[in-house]
Amino acid sequence: MDYLSDERKKSDFDVEAMKVAWAGSIQEFQLSDRMAKLVANDPVFEKFTRPMLGRKELLKNTLRKSAHAWKLIIDLRLSEEEAKWLRLYVDEPAYTDLHWGMFIPAIEGQGTEEQKKKWLPLAKKMQIIGCYAQTELGHGSNVQGLETTATFDTRTDEFIMHSPTLTSSKWWPGGLGKLSTHAVVYARLIVGGQFHGVHGFIVQLRSLEDHSPLPGITVGDIGLKFGNGAYNTMDNGVLRFDHVRIPRNQMLMRVSQVTKEGKIMQSDVPRQLIYGTMVYVRQTIVADASKALSRAVCIATRYSAVRRQFGSRDGGPETQVIDYKTQQSRLFPLLASAYAFRFVSEWLKSLYLDVKQRLEANEFSTLPEAHACTAGLKSLTTTATADGIEECRKLCGGHGYLVSSGLPELFAVYIPACTYEGDNVVLMLQVARFLVKTVSELGHKKPVGTTAYMGRVASLMQKNSAVQTAEGWLNPGAVVEAFESRAARMAVRCAQELAKFGNPEEGFAELAVDLVEVAVSHCQLIVVTKFFEKLQQDIPGKGVKESLEVLCYVYALFLLHKHQGDFLATGYLTPKQASLANAQLRTLYSKVRPNAIALVDSFSYTDHYLGSILGRYDGNVYPKLYEAAWEDPLNDSDVIDGFHQYVQPILKQRLHSAKL
Ligand SMILES: CC/C=C\C/C=C\C/C=C\C/C=C\C/C=C\C/C=C\CCCCC(=O)SCCNC(=O)CCNC(=O)[C@H](O)C(C)(C)COP(=O)(O)OP(=O)(O)OC[C@H]1O[C@@H](n2cnc3c(N)ncnc32)[C@H](O)[C@@H]1OP(=O)(O)O
Ligand SMILES: Cc1cc2nc3c(=O)[nH]c(=O)nc-3n(C[C@H](O)[C@H](O)[C@H](O)COP(=O)(O)OP(=O)(O)OC[C@H]3O[C@@H](n4cnc5c(N)ncnc54)[C@H](O)[C@@H]3O)c2cc1C
């Protein structure tokens, strides 16, 4: 029985066509759909018991799933794209993520042709397993502050890897704790007693025969992390070196080379390329944000249509909680954000692929913008997604707190995305630096790409919004101009404040809070703009483009409402215009309402991937919640183990004292 069938009948767009729009193309949709079904129908990938497993059992279970996934990749000759979808739907963080997601890209981006030829075939056949060992106990954000040393010894033509202090211990790398045989280790290059910056080195950690740590290497897991199951399927590790020697050709030498004689040779490649792997991964994290948020929103939307509270008159059904305006005002902006993040990630991927091609051809001019966009959008989307998942939990009331809702584990797995691959505040400060530099160069350098609007800063500073009615907000020009004006005005105002400081770094530190706000407004502008640009494309299917248009306005006007202080303080909007935007938002929520279930069905998530009783496709929530409760190990017996030992004596004592 489909308890949501009436809801599905209400929608006025072609769901199958929307699935294609969400996936990006029919090919991508078919590929993703095939992998989703492959995983959902394979009992090895069962995951309901995960939060109840102890750590050792949990990790072993992950290893079993990873081995099975690898076997499927080989046996079914899956392409790299198919393997990525498979990994997504298996839905369990594992050492393989870091191997494929960071170790291999680090070698691809920072290795010489010779190094790539040697290491990549081994890694791609998984004859070695690698991780990305950058962060230390004492330093994560401040990469130049890392303390591990790689000292060149001209006599033996080797680097000596060493951990001179406790705080220099590598700490956090995923896959390091128990599985990796190798690592790309970031360390201070020391040649002839001089420090030459932080570089990456390929270091073997464990024996390829019996997996034991090699001499001079201390390695292990850093311990349990937040939540049950969740990210505990990953062996984040600690690593120390005691004068471990590696051959000279294991320093990744695309950026700088060290010769046999101990001479440092700089290539034309900028040193920022050492941070290049982070640009790649941040881009993938933006795509993951839309997946995580859409999952939470799918659960909360379906459950909000099933759940009824209050409002029953003459014995009729109570009100579905999705019909409460307050519920809609919390849920629908998240639904719109999931779509917005999906489309901005599509754009970001194309930007990244373009930069990657250029970097391969030694063309580096677009790297700063790629860095700012990946850092800023990673920060913006992961913050919104982490907050959004928690909001979805609240939208599901008490039942959202049950592990079987799928939301607690999703939250626990997701929240470190605000920290890993760059703390979100630190990343926004990088965007702010880029924007301040753009503003300071306006007189002699035409801004391009995502900062092109800064080239129109004079008019953006003067012109105010012309919107007169709530309907007036349904105009892409009016909305984009509002976001451009806000971002430009905030950036210029901050640049003016900065100019008052004699020492720019002192000014930057003092105004950091404002600078983060400038960066956020710039990143929100990018997301809004890319959503409108998406709508310019040919999007087939009855009502699909129209429904996306509604979501685009919901996303933009919700942000405008939330940040109306900025729009008012910069003088671009009047209070009346801000309240017209809010009125329009209410109308938009009414337009989303009949399509809400179809909009989450368009994510095409299997019940396996959602992992939620509240979010079941058929809406059959209550019987399944009831059944699931009886499957809890506590309900294996009526009288629980420990009762006779610890509780009964207390009860007996009460009886005894009652007699007295
Ligand atoms: C067949 C296939 C089978 C299976 C497939 C299976 C699975 C997997 C597939 C895919 C999975 C994909 C991905 C998943 C992988 C992982 C995701 C999951 C888990 C996450 C793991 C997390 C890993 C980590 O966390 S690694 C550690 C990350 N650490 C950080 O991010 C540190 C943050 N700090 C910094 O970035 C920098 O130190 C700093 C930027 C903050 C400061 O740098 P610095 O001290 O040098 O200062 P500045 O002076 O500010 O900067 C100097 C100049 O450099 C420019 N800059 C900075 N960063 C970059 C960059 N990244 N790129 C380019 N340029 C950069 C900066 O702008 C300055 O420039 P200027 O011109 O001088 O102004
Ligand atoms: C689950 C997980 C997986 C990870 N995987 C890996 C991995 O595979 N490999 C790896 O190398 N690392 C990994 N990391 C480490 C991760 O990259 C770092 O934790 C992250 O970059 C943040 O650095 P930090 O811990 O030093 O935070 P800190 O920089 O110590 O941050 C602490 C606080 O200080 C603030 N702060 C710091 N600097 C500034 C500043 N300049 N201005 C203003 N505020 C500032 C931050 O905003 C934050 O609030 C992982 C971390 C986690 C949680």
Tally of helices (H runs) and strands (E runs) in the chain: 24, 11
For ligand 1, atom 1, name the residue with the nearest CA.
80
**What integer pLDDT is reported at residue 658 of this predicted model?**
57
Cα 488 to ligand 2 centroid, rounded to whole Å? 30
Q: What number does the ligand 1 atom closest to the CA of 275 have? A: 61
Tokens representing 276 are 């290049």
d(CA 577, CA 473): 9
**Residue numbers annotated as active site:** 421
Is the beta carbon of 173 within 6 A of some atom in ligand 2?
yes
d(CA 75, CA 632): 36
Q: Backbone phi, then psi, for 110, in 5-degree steps? A: -115, -5
**What integer pLDDT is reported at residue 492 of this predicted model?**
95
**What integer pLDDT is reported at residue 655 of this predicted model?**
58
For ligand 1, atom 52, name the residue with the nearest CA.
272
Is the beta carbon of 231 within 6 A of some atom in ligand 2?
yes
**What integer pLDDT is reported at residue 590 of this predicted model?**
98
Residues with beta carbon inside 6 Å of ligand 1? 73, 80, 83-84, 87, 96-97, 100-102, 132, 134-135, 140-144, 174, 272, 275, 278-279, 281, 284, 367-368, 371, 420-422, 426, 430, 433
Say which ligand is closest to the CA of 198. Answer: 1
**What integer pLDDT is reported at residue 660 of this predicted model?**
54
Is the beta carbon of 426 within 6 A of some atom in ligand 2?
yes
The pTM of this model reads 0.97
Closest CA to 348 of 378, 368, 382, 386: 378
**What integer pLDDT is reported at residue 656 of this predicted model?**
59
Cα 282 to ligand 2 centroid, rounded to whole Å? 14
174 among annotated binding-site residues:
yes
Closest CA to 282 of 382, 405, 137: 382
Residue reference for tokens 């800063």 = 457
Cα 222 to ligand 1 centroid, rounded to whole Å? 22
Structural domains of the chain, with CATH: 130-267 (2.40.110.10), 440-601 (1.20.140.10)
User: What are the residue ranges of helices labelled H in 312-450?
Assistant: 325-360, 367-395, 407-414, 424-440
Q: What number does the ligand 2 atom closest to the CA of 509 have? A: 42
Which residues make beta-bridge pairs with 164? Answer: none
Cα 422 to ligand 2 centroid, rounded to whole Å? 6
For ligand 2, atom 8, name the residue with the nearest CA.
173
For ligand 1, atom 4, name the residue with the nearest CA.
83
Closest CA to 523 of 384, 339, 338, 350: 384
Tokens representing 261 are 């004689």
Cα 374 to ligand 1 centroid, rounded to whole Å? 9
Cα radius of gyration rounded to whole Å, the chain: 27
For 582, residues 6+ apart whose C-beta sits below 8 A from its C-beta are 557, 561
What 3 state SS string does 16-77 have? HHHHHHHHCCHHHHHHHHHHHHHHHCCHHHCCCCHHHCCHHHHHHHHHHHHHHHHHHHHHCC
- At 368, the amino acid letter reads P
d(CA 219, CA 177): 6
Is the beta carbon of 572 within 6 A of some atom in ligand 2?
no
Across the 660 residues of the chain, what is the mean pLDDT of every consecutive 10-residue run? 95 98 98 98 94 95 98 97 97 98 97 98 98 98 98 98 98 98 98 96 98 98 96 98 98 96 91 90 98 98 98 87 98 98 98 92 92 98 98 98 98 98 98 96 94 97 96 98 98 96 96 98 98 98 98 98 97 98 98 98 98 98 97 96 96 68
Check: CB of residue 162 under 8 Å from CB of residue 147: no
**Of 108, 143, 286, which is best to mutate to test ligand 1, by the most ligand atoms within 8 angstroms of its C-beta?**
143
For ligand 1, atom 24, name the residue with the nearest CA.
421
**Of 272, 286, 359, 505, which is best to mutate to test ligand 1, by the most ligand atoms within 8 angstroms of its C-beta?**
272
ipTM over 0.90: yes
Cα 197 to ligand 1 centroid, rounded to whole Å? 16
- Distances in Å between the Cα of 256 and the Cα atoms of 133, 191, 264 are 19, 12, 7
Closest CA to 319 of 334, 305, 337: 305
Is the beta carbon of 134 within 6 A of some atom in ligand 2?
yes
For ligand 1, atom 3, name the residue with the nearest CA.
83
**What integer pLDDT is reported at residue 659 of this predicted model?**
57
**What integer pLDDT is reported at residue 392 of this predicted model?**
98
Q: What number does the ligand 2 atom closest to the CA of 134 have? A: 11
Say which ligand is closest to the CA of 86. Answer: 1
Check: CB of residue 474 under 8 Å from CB of residue 585: no
400 among annotated binding-site residues:
no
Is the beta carbon of 376 within 6 A of some atom in ligand 2?
no
Cα 141 to ligand 2 centroid, rounded to whole Å? 5
pLDDT per position as a tens digit, 266-316: 888 888 889 989 999 999 999 999 999 999 999 999 999 999 999 877 788
**Of 278, 420, 429, which is best to mutate to test ligand 2, by the most ligand atoms within 8 angstroms of its C-beta?**
420
Say which ligand is closest to the CA of 285. Answer: 1
Task: Count the residues in the chain.
Answer: 660
Tokens representing 153 are 């010894």
CA–chain centroid gap for 344, Å, is 13
Cα 131 to ligand 1 centroid, rounded to whole Å? 15
d(CA 87, CA 345): 18
Is the beta carbon of 476 within 6 A of some atom in ligand 2?
no
pLDDT per position as a tens digit, 222-280: 999 999 899 999 999 999 999 999 999 999 999 999 999 999 998 888 888 899 899 99
Three-state DSSP class for residue 196: strand
Q: Is 64 exposed, middle or buried (0-12, 13-18, 19+ CB in 10 A)?
A: exposed
**Of 104, 131, 135, which is best to mutate to test ligand 2, by the most ligand atoms within 8 angstroms of its C-beta?**
135
Cα 6 to ligand 1 centroid, rounded to whole Å? 47
Q: What number does the ligand 2 atom closest to the CA of 421 have? A: 17
**What integer pLDDT is reported at residue 515 of this predicted model?**
98
- At 121, the amino acid letter reads P
Q: Backbone phi, then psi, for 311, in 5-degree steps? A: 75, 10
